[in-house]
Structure 1
Amino acid sequence: MTAINKGFAAAGLALAIAAATAPSAQAADAQLDCTMRFSLTGWSAIYKHAEGSGVVTCENGESMKVKISAKGGGLTVGKSHIDDGKGEFTDVHKMSDILGTYAQGEATAAAGKSATAQVLTKGTVSLALAGTGEGVDLGISFGGFTISKAD
């Protein structure tokens, strides 16, 4: 199994658990499937900061260019980048639901080529991320992952 497939498997499992515990009435109303392709570059030295861009596409044909910013703190050191990252949103009613700051927590230890997968939440909307990249990163961090409309 490739690193990205392992990342999607881990993200899928976490997403399944999150979906099983989500309020069913809200989930039943959310009928829009949306995905995101993105790239992200970051650094950390106690404070963690990453920026990137991407495109969100929904099954109804809508698409939106987005900016991504991840900021937080913790015990981290390193720098990294993710190319060709993929994200899947759940519990989306309309495309604007994907905008905003998602809660993020992470523990990493990587050098060279690596893969990542995590599930982030913002209210009832969840975002499962997976990607591969390169860098050196070590530590535990927390903070927010913000998606905003690109200019």
Structure 2
Amino acid sequence: MKHHTLSVLAAGLALALFGSVQAHAESANLDCKLKFSLTGWSLIYKHAEGHGTVSCENGESMNVKISAKGGGLTVGKSHIDNGTGRFTDVHNINDVLGTYAQGDASAGAVKSGTAQLLTKGTVSLALAGSGEGVELGVSVGGFTIEQTGKIRK
């Protein structure tokens, strides 16, 4: 009888663990997007600030502040309006917050565009946008997303 009880208990624990792992893996596929505007300048040191909104397929959204800082051989001034981003490997909306590693090589005058892939641990962010400005150079740094308001459902 004890052996049967232990077998049932072990099977129950295995099923619970498998269900938990499976639920965790499935929840990592939460589709979240970023819409943003960004204005920046660079003269060796690169600095840009902006704002945006993160929205996820589960109906949650939040306003965010964006900043990009770094250094390298750069010079210029630019702004991006109506930029977009798409996150991967997100479990919940808070996973998008933090600083992403950023590398950049750019050259543009008057009308310019950007496409970048940034990473923060297992979460990645693909950015795309167009705007105006003049920029030339290579830089590395961080792209930070901070929450500025409550999460809305």
Q: Indicate yes or no: 2:43 matched with 1:45.
A: yes
How many pairs align? 126
TM-score after normalising by structure 1: 0.81
Offset from partner CA, 1:77-100 (integer Å, 9 cap, x none)? 000000000000000001000000
**AA of the residue aligned to 1:40:** L
Partner of 1:89: 87
Correspondence for 1:125 among 102, 118, 123: 123
Secondary structure at the aligned position of 1:97 is classed as: helix
TM-aligned CA deviation for residue 31 of structure 1: 2.0
Sequence identity of aligned pairs in percent?
Answer: 74
Higher relative contact order (CA 8 A, sep 6+): 1
**AA of the residue aligned to 2:37:** S
CA distance in 1 between partners of 2:119 and 2:130 (Å): 21
Structure 2 unpaired stretches of 5+: 1-23
The structure number with the bigger radius of gyration is 2
Partner of 1:139: 137
Q: Indicate yes or no: 2:49 matched with 1:55.
A: no
Structure 1 unpaired stretches of 5+: 1-25
Residue 78 of structure 1 contacts residue 135 of structure 1 at CA under 8 Å; is this kept in 2? Answer: yes
Offset from partner CA, 1:107-149 (integer Å, 9 cap, x none)? 0110010111010000000000000000000000000000000
What do you get for the CA RMSD once the two structures are aligned?
Answer: 1.2
TM-aligned CA deviation for residue 29 of structure 1: 4.8
**AA of the residue aligned to 1:38:** F
Residue 27 of structure 1 contacts residue 91 of structure 1 at CA under 8 Å; is this kept in 2? Answer: no
Offset from partner CA, 1:44-78 (integer Å, 9 cap, x none)? 00000000000000000000000000000000000
Moved segments of 4+, more than 2 Å: 26-29
Secondary structure at the aligned position of 2:66 is classed as: strand
TM-score after normalising by structure 2: 0.80
